Structure 1
Amino acid sequence: MNAVEIEEAVSALAEQPFDAEEFPYLFLLAFGNKDTTIKRLRAAKGSTNASDIPGAVLQRNNIHIATCQPGEVTRTLTALRDSPATSKAKAKFILATDGETFEAEELDTGETVACAYTDFPNHFGAFLPLAGITTVKQIRESSFDIRATSKLNRLYVELLKDNLDWGTADRRHDMNHFMARLIFCFFAEDTDIFQDGHSFTNTVDTMTERDSSNTHEVIGELFRAMNTPTAERKKAGIARYADRFPYVNGGLFSGSPEVPRFSKIARSYLIHIGTLDWTKINPDIFGSMIQAVADDEERGALGMHYTSVPNILKVLNPLFLDDLRARLDEAGDNARMLLNLRKRMARIRVFDPACGSGNFLVIAYKEMRAIEAEINRLRGETDRPSEIPLTNFRGIELRDFPAEIARLALIIAEFQCDVLYRGQKLALAEFLPLNAENWITCGNALRLDWLSICPPTGTGVKYSADDLFHSPLDQPHIDFENEGGETYICGNPPYLGSTWQDEAQKGELESIFGHRTKSWKSLDYVAGWFMKAADYGTKTNAGAAFVSTNSICQGQQVPILWPLIFRTGHEISFAHTSFKWANLASNKAGVTVAIIGLSNHASKARRLYRPSDDGTSIVKEVENINAYLVPGSDIIISPLSKPQDGRGLMEWGNKPTDGGNFFFTSDERRELLNKYPSAEKYIKRFLGAQEFIRGESRYCLWINDKDRISAEEIPEIGKRIEAVSKMRAESKALETRPAANFPHRFRQIQSVAQKSSLVVARVSSENRYYLPIGLEGHDTIIGDRNFALYDAQLWNMALIASRLHIVWIGTVCVRMRTDYSYSNTLGWNTFPVPKLTDKMKADLTRCAEDILLAREAHFPATIAELYDPEEMPADLREAHDRNDEVLERIYIGRRFRNDTERLEKLFDLYTKMTARPGSKNKKKAGAA
């Protein structure tokens, strides 16, 4: 269950008559517990429900719940807190209720909830960990935003049932615009924007029939009034009940006042939504969730898409906010310096070319308003109107509903800031009518000219639009400039990898990269935003920073993308190395990202952030950050066909392309050999990725050309060979069909060991501290899901099994999601190794032997089990640690302090390795 589904279940529970006996079980069901779990708790047998309080329900590692007699809630909660069973079961929460009062506590933090029973759904976010949703505090505390999203979604779906045409492409904009109007009305009535106590919700409730027959007419009349200036209302014939509402303007209520028809259920939903406390709306959270209401594809994941404020600030702070705060500190109480800073801020533009519902813009606006408010306080001008215009917070968004929500979110943020810093009276006096200027463009960011959205000073590139909430698709429409200001580009563009891009998206990337490089098809979609930001920066005083998949700083994408960016004169001004962020989905769902800042006037000190164990960031000032987000020169790692220093040659494993016909389970092999003992010479042990990592057993046919005829005389083998021939001949893959001429053997045979093979999996979990490498005998056939060094000396294993090597692989090779995707040409052949003496090789050989012996001591434990970071045996860990110490002393005479230092040394060695005479890889840094 996601957060919105949980909110719906919790709200439904609160609306039911209170049943003291059933409440604990219904509460747990609302947070996603399965029926089978509830049945076990009901049975109250053994340790399943080990509560020591009569009638209470205790779920281990989760919650201890008790219902009680009226007036006994606080005493009962104390009993739950003091209960030995609560401690023994490691309960995270305690909860007590009598159906009138509700009290709960999170035991680790001491945070409490105390409210009327009917209000407990307002606090459901505090209990999200019960559903496995462990996410940032800001989301857990945004219960209102999730509740509002949930209820608006129900209203949206209900309206579409009776207004099918409003769900079509032709009318989707009308439906979305209607929802934006409703959100504004709910907010306005609770914040006194609709003054004199005029309530939109109460008016609808009072003036509409209970059968909902005229609900659409009443709402339409209210909207018409909000679009009609007061002086024109008599002539327009505005109804008396609507005439009390203010003129809003700004395009929000312009255009058709038509409203979809309401069923009785839809009317009930609308009135219930209006009873929520909309003063609690958080525009930087709410917008992200509400945009999914209007998107059929996203609605299934409603409430799961959210970029947390701390993560947004990881972009905005080093991009420009830290500098503003530093200038504020530097100014102290110097009135002139404070004034200059305020004037500078009034000209700063923040531009998000993938703005969605405006998260980054809203946070940037609120943070700048906070700095401005402090300036005004220090200057004794607390009542002064803000000089930071909303029109300086510009965005591009492909879909029209998120674009409308972005504008609305910024309007709400402006009002909230005015209330906070200037007071309710001044905020209300200046809020209406809304300004009709439009600063969010609805269009395709990769097709639009960004200079038309944020034109540089003096260009005269200007466009116009009708009003704030009506803009044609793909039409730039900024009709105002900001002379002499800085522009900061930021955001979280879409990530689509090259495999997942549709034809239109490929075309967009081609338009940006096609004239620059032939390899553009391998780029992630997000690369388009980086390139356009760099191009924009060549014409303006701008800096940029985006959240991105870390893949654009790894593997094959680096030599394609980054030389092009560096040629524009841009450098990486700051970066956050790979980290995960969670969203509102359960089970810590999230994505691994990096944050990369670009500038063509970067300071000498570049800031490199890396995540720490406690979830914060560690920052280091460095002279330069290269495309791999490593301190060092702007060198590009290019594949090498073979290692240059006498190391073993790493080759792909053997590729069968057989439709499964070559392979046998242990039972199938045994059955075949019992029937045909002579078949044993044609069957060998096969090692694919699962067999190597998880210890699974599988066998394959391995037949030499000279043995084909005799092998085919065994009926079972002959039948399998015939099946391979048919499969290959009928394959849609052109390169597979010729292999039908030799159906008795693998389609691609790389090599077979004479003595032994060192095996490396092509894909390995990022959770392992070391890269798995194995030693196999000559009778094992290595599959193409692995790489192999055939008959290589054992000291090669010590290199691959080191911390140094996995750090290198994780940086220069491509990743599959977050796992390591090994490459022989890019990872092994380029791995910098100092010249090794015979003594060094002998020492490394002993280290490799010790690792193998430590593994053998735990037979039959698999690689997956042995290298589980939580379960790794102490002797194996010690063997690897000795290996690291021996190898790292070869590199620098001591152990490295951390992975950052490891990478700095490796890149330095790589630079020297590729520059020495005879190197085939002496490309200039930054070359394509």
Structure 2
Amino acid sequence: MNAVEIEQAITDLAEQPFDPAEFPYAFLEAFGNKATTIKRLRAGASNKSDLGGVLQTSNIHILTCDAGRVTQTLAVLKSSPATTKAKAKFILATDGVDFEAEDLTSGDTVACAFKDFPDHFGFFLPLAGISTVRQISENAFDIRATSRLNRLYVELLKDNPEWGTAERRHDMNNLMARLIFCFFAEDTDIFIGKGRFTETVAQMSAKDSSNTHEVIATLFRAMNTKREDRAATKIPRWAEDFPYVNGQLFSGGDEVPRFSKIARSYLLHVGGLDWTKINPDIFGSMIQAVAEDEERGELGMHYTSVPNILKVLNPLFLDDLRAKLEEAGDNPRTLLNLRKRMARIRVFDPACGSGNFLVIAYKEMRAIEAEINRRRGEQDHASEIPVTNFRGIELRDFPAEIARLALVIAEYQCDVLYRGQKLALAEFLPLRNENWITCGNALRLDWLSICPTTGTGVRVQADDLFGSPLDQAEIDFANTGGETYICGNPPYKGTKNQSASEKEDLRSVFDGFTRRSGTLDYVAGWFLKAAVYASHTKADFAFVTTNSICQGGQVPVLWPVLFDLGCEIKFAYQSFKWRNLASQNAVVTVIIVGVSRNAGSVRRLFQVGQDKNNTELTTNLIGPYLIPGSDVIVEGRTSPLSSIAPMQLGNAPYDGGNLILERGEADRVGLSQHDQERWLRDLWGSTEVINGSPRKCIWIEEASLSDAMENSVIRGRIEAVRAMRCASTDAGTRAMADRPHQFREMNSGAKSTLVIPIRSSEFRPYLPVDLVDPNCCVTNLAYAIYDGPLMNLAIIASRLHLVWIGAVCGRMKTDFSYSNKMGWHTFPILTLTDKNKTDLTRCAEDILLAREHHFPATIADLYDPENMPADLRAAHDRNDEVLERIYIGRRFRNDTERLEKLFDLYTKMTASAAPDKGKKRKAGANA
């Protein structure tokens, strides 16, 4: 269950008559406990309570009590030996009137009326294995409101299916935006009288809901009609007190879908919430999910959190504004100049979604401006920061509309906070008609016309909600000398996940810059568009993005283009895991890259630690691999740069699984021991190497085919491969159908084979590599060095090589993703003497012997960072000592020094190296 579903279940529970015996089980069920778990608790099999309550081990101890004894009961729960023994995280006591609970880990408590405990549902979310509880607790209203709006939305579509069609979906979204505004307005005195909109609907619509749609349509029409025109338009007396809102929010028609009794009830329930608690920072993203079928399953769970947004905005420009405020002190003229500067700053999010980045930027700037006004003694001074300076592009119309609404709400809330409600109300209505959020494909639109440098934008007037569909921003304004900061969280999408139209988007953006856009993530298009924009005006930009654009083969495609446009990396966050509000495992690994054409002499490089605290390093240069001090770009090679053995990808089966046998399967299918020895080989891939457990594969040389086909099991599998390959839609696979007994490649070693897994955990202190029997098959899920010197194992297993791979190769999340062309063939090694080679060979032998000493422990066991054997660690230390002394005559002090040396050496070696074998041919193929 996600947080929204839990909130709904808890709310339903609070509305039911209190049953002391059933409440503990219903409470646990609301947090996702399965029926079998509840059954075992009821039976006493897993209930460890010593007080007659319900105690779930490592979770919660719940006890209901007599009226008026809740506080005493909570104290008894806390002192209970069973609570301690079962390691309960929470205790909870209630009598059906009052409700108290405590988090025994943090000491935080909840005390409220029983009917109000759903307001604190976020407090208990660890019971459901949900992380980032503080964010959910702080934004509990947004989740509750989203849940209610979703139920209303679904119920309306159930009774009005035509409103769910593509033709009417825009109208349905308009309705939701209007309702959100009305709920907010009636609770913040924008509409005179708290709850005015909801109460009017309740009073004027029949309880059977037959005219609910007519009442709402009438109110919408009133809010779209100026007071002097209402008599002519026959606005009824009961709707006349509603203000004229305008701003195109209620223009474009007032049709409303029919309401069932249930839908009417939902509407009144939503209106009954306290909408003064709305948080426009994140509410837009949650509401967006209401209107998106594919997002509703994780309703309210996916949004860019405020702390992560500030990771972008602070170093992009907010830190500088705060520093200038600090420097200004109480100097009136300096403060005035800063305020004037801020009035000309534009924040532009070309993938704005429902406006999170824009809203946070606006609120942070208003806070700085308010402090300026306070120091100048001008607290009543109207804000000079126009909300229209916060511009965006969004592909879908509803999020674009919600973005504008979120900014309108943020503006009002800031006015109330900094100037008082009276002044805020006086200036809020009518809403402005301008539209500053453009709906369209950001990679196809002209950003300079949407956020023009000198106010020469195209004006477009539309006649429906917020001017949607928004082909072009309709306002312009003079901004000569102002700054523009481009930011956001564009769609990432790797090459395999891009649609044909998205691939064409990238081609159109990169046309004239490179023909290799097909290798780039979709987000790269935003980087280039921003760089081109910045070449025409004063603009810095920063995006949250996948770490792959700063790793592996994408670096030599994207970053030379950006550098040629005069861009430099001003600040960056190295890879960090960013959790959303869903389950503990719902994480995405991102980086943040800030770019400028005038980055200055001090660059800021951030790391997010395991404790989520940021570590900042200042440097004079940040390279495209997000390392300090070097802007070298590594190009993949088909042959080694140094005097090391070539490495190649393993053998690809393309067999539909028919040439591969799991452990023990050969015996089960009836292959004799003799046949297994003749026709089967050990099969090694990443998983097999790390876990020390090879599978088997059918391996038949041409000369042995006729003998092998006499075996019915072998013959059946070969024919299955032939059928699979013939049926393939891939021409290359079909071409292999004439040799169905073989893998696509048939490479193996004669004397030795080193196997290197493609994927490896970031937590291992060394890259996994193993020496296996040469009479084996390495799959295309690993790399192999066939019959190369053993010293290659020492190099691969070194700390020096690990940090190189970590810098220049791509990653899967934050795990290492090995590459022969990018990582091994580019690895710079000084010319080795015979003694160097002998020493490294001995180091490799020592590592293998140390592993053998712990047989049957696997690489997964041995390289667990918490349990690595001392003798194996010592063998690796000696290996690192030997290798690093070859480079600089001593051990490197840290990884930064290692990378500095490696990049310096790589630069020198590539300058004098012969052309890579096959490189020219490959480049020509991409031309």
Interval containing the TM-score (normalised by the shorter chain): over 0.9
Per-residue CA deviations over 1:836-884 (Å, capped at 9, x if unaligned) read 3444444433433333233323322333333344554454444434433
Shift of 1:718: 3.8
Shift of 1:730: 4.6
Match of 1:739 in 2: 736
Shift of 1:142: 0.8
In the alignment of these two chains, the number of paired residues is 921
Between the aligned partners of 2:152 and 2:809, the Cα distance in structure 1 is: 48
Contact 1:679 1:711 in 2 (8 A): no
Match of 2:2 in 1: 2
Between the aligned partners of 1:679 and 1:165, the Cα distance in structure 2 is: 64
Contact 1:632 1:907 in 2 (8 A): no
Contact 2:312 2:487 in 1 (8 A): yes
Greater Cα shift, 726-735 or 610-619: 726-735
The 5 Å alignment of 1:152-191 reads 152-191=149-188
Summarize the Cα distance change of 1:486–1:664 in structure 2 as closer, same or farther, 3 Å threshold: closer
Match of 1:68 in 2: 65
The 5 Å alignment of 1:214-293 reads 214-293=211-290
Shift of 1:897: 4.7
Between the aligned partners of 1:668 and 1:122, the Cα distance in structure 2 is: 56
Between the aligned partners of 1:396 and 1:730, the Cα distance in structure 2 is: 44
Shift of 1:404: 1.1
- Residue 51 (1) aligns with residue 44 (2): no
Contact 1:685 1:780 in 2 (8 A): yes
Between the aligned partners of 2:498 and 2:672, the Cα distance in structure 1 is: 52
Per-residue CA deviations over 1:477-511 (Å, capped at 9, x if unaligned) read 23334332111000000111111111221221111
- 3-state SS in 1 of match to 2:431: coil
Between the aligned partners of 2:277 and 2:59, the Cα distance in structure 1 is: 29
Between the aligned partners of 2:694 and 2:569, the Cα distance in structure 1 is: 48
Between the aligned partners of 1:249 and 1:743, the Cα distance in structure 2 is: 71
Per-residue CA deviations over 1:407-449 (Å, capped at 9, x if unaligned) read 1111111111111111122222221221221111111111110
- 3-state SS in 1 of match to 2:231: helix
Match of 1:810 in 2: 806
Match of 1:638 in 2: 635
Greater Cα shift, 763-772 or 322-331: 763-772
Per-residue CA deviations over 1:4-39 (Å, capped at 9, x if unaligned) read 111111111111111111111211111112222222
Shift of 1:781: 2.2
Between the aligned partners of 1:462 and 1:542, the Cα distance in structure 2 is: 23
2:832 to 818, 830, 836: 836
Shift of 1:337: 0.5
Summarize the Cα distance change of 1:672–1:425 in structure 2 as closer, same or farther, 3 Å threshold: closer
Between the aligned partners of 2:632 and 2:638, the Cα distance in structure 1 is: 19
Match of 1:30 in 2: 30
1:359 to 356, 360, 373: 356
2:450 to 446, 450, 453: 453
1:762 to 750, 758, 781: 758
Summarize the Cα distance change of 1:663–1:840 in structure 2 as closer, same or farther, 3 Å threshold: same
Contact 1:454 1:481 in 2 (8 A): no
- Residue 787 (1) aligns with residue 783 (2): yes
- The aligned amino acid for 1:755 is K
Summarize the Cα distance change of 1:201–1:689 in structure 2 as closer, same or farther, 3 Å threshold: same
Between the aligned partners of 1:719 and 1:195, the Cα distance in structure 2 is: 81
Match of 1:42 in 2: 42
Between the aligned partners of 1:68 and 1:886, the Cα distance in structure 2 is: 70
Shift of 1:526: 0.6
Contact 1:349 1:486 in 2 (8 A): yes
Please list every run of 5 or more consecutive structure 1 residues that lacks an aligned counterpart in the other structure.
Answer: none
- The aligned amino acid for 2:230 is R
Percent identity between the aligned chains? 67
- 3-state SS in 2 of match to 1:381: coil
Greater Cα shift, 755-764 or 399-408: 755-764
Greater Cα shift, 808-817 or 866-875: 866-875
Per-residue CA deviations over 1:667-710 (Å, capped at 9, x if unaligned) read 34346787473662332222233322233342223333333333
Shift of 1:112: 1.7
Summarize the Cα distance change of 1:880–1:32 in structure 2 as closer, same or farther, 3 Å threshold: farther
Shift of 1:388: 0.6
1:206 to 203, 206, 226: 203
Summarize the Cα distance change of 1:842–1:26 in structure 2 as closer, same or farther, 3 Å threshold: farther
- The aligned amino acid for 1:815 is R
Match of 1:395 in 2: 392
- Residue 314 (1) aligns with residue 314 (2): no
- Residue 851 (1) aligns with residue 847 (2): yes
Contact 1:538 1:568 in 2 (8 A): yes
Summarize the Cα distance change of 1:175–1:917 in structure 2 as closer, same or farther, 3 Å threshold: closer
Contact 1:353 1:396 in 2 (8 A): yes
Between the aligned partners of 1:730 and 1:505, the Cα distance in structure 2 is: 29
Shift of 1:826: 0.9
Taking structure 1 as the reference length, the TM-score comes to: 0.95
Between the aligned partners of 1:138 and 1:662, the Cα distance in structure 2 is: 50
Please list every run of 5 or more consecutive structure 2 residues that lacks an aligned counterpart in the other structure.
Answer: 921-925
- 3-state SS in 2 of match to 1:66: strand
Greater Cα shift, 194-203 or 512-521: 194-203
Contact 1:68 1:76 in 2 (8 A): yes
Greater Cα shift, 209-218 or 78-87: 78-87
Shift of 1:355: 0.5
- 3-state SS in 1 of match to 2:552: coil
Contact 1:133 1:588 in 2 (8 A): no
- 3-state SS in 1 of match to 2:487: strand
Shift of 1:919: 6.4
Contact 1:462 1:480 in 2 (8 A): no
Summarize the Cα distance change of 1:676–1:627 in structure 2 as closer, same or farther, 3 Å threshold: closer
Match of 2:322 in 1: 325
Between the aligned partners of 1:113 and 1:527, the Cα distance in structure 2 is: 47
Shift of 1:637: 0.7
- The aligned amino acid for 1:36 is T
- Residue 827 (1) aligns with residue 786 (2): no
Between the aligned partners of 1:212 and 1:460, the Cα distance in structure 2 is: 47
Between the aligned partners of 2:840 and 2:673, the Cα distance in structure 1 is: 45
Summarize the Cα distance change of 1:888–1:44 in structure 2 as closer, same or farther, 3 Å threshold: farther
- Residue 144 (1) aligns with residue 141 (2): yes
Summarize the Cα distance change of 1:508–1:43 in structure 2 as closer, same or farther, 3 Å threshold: same
Shift of 1:467: 7.6
- Residue 506 (1) aligns with residue 529 (2): no
2:693 to 677, 685, 696: 696
Summarize the Cα distance change of 1:558–1:675 in structure 2 as closer, same or farther, 3 Å threshold: closer
- 3-state SS in 1 of match to 2:731: coil
Between the aligned partners of 1:78 and 1:833, the Cα distance in structure 2 is: 67
- The aligned amino acid for 2:23 is F
- The aligned amino acid for 2:102 is E
Match of 1:382 in 2: 379
Contact 2:642 2:826 in 1 (8 A): no
- Residue 576 (1) aligns with residue 573 (2): yes
The 5 Å alignment of 1:393-472 reads 393-457=390-454, 459=456, 462-465=459-462, 469-472=466-469
Match of 1:13 in 2: 13
- The aligned amino acid for 1:811 is A
- Residue 99 (1) aligns with residue 102 (2): no
- Please, what is the CA RMSD of the aligned residues? 2.3
Between the aligned partners of 1:347 and 1:358, the Cα distance in structure 2 is: 20
1:554 to 546, 551, 571: 551
Shift of 1:556: 1.3
Contact 1:438 1:467 in 2 (8 A): no
Between the aligned partners of 1:21 and 1:501, the Cα distance in structure 2 is: 54
Shift of 1:789: 1.2
Match of 2:119 in 1: 122
2:81 to 84, 108, 123: 84
Shift of 1:830: 0.8
Between the aligned partners of 2:729 and 2:398, the Cα distance in structure 1 is: 43
Summarize the Cα distance change of 1:722–1:152 in structure 2 as closer, same or farther, 3 Å threshold: closer
Contact 1:679 1:714 in 2 (8 A): no
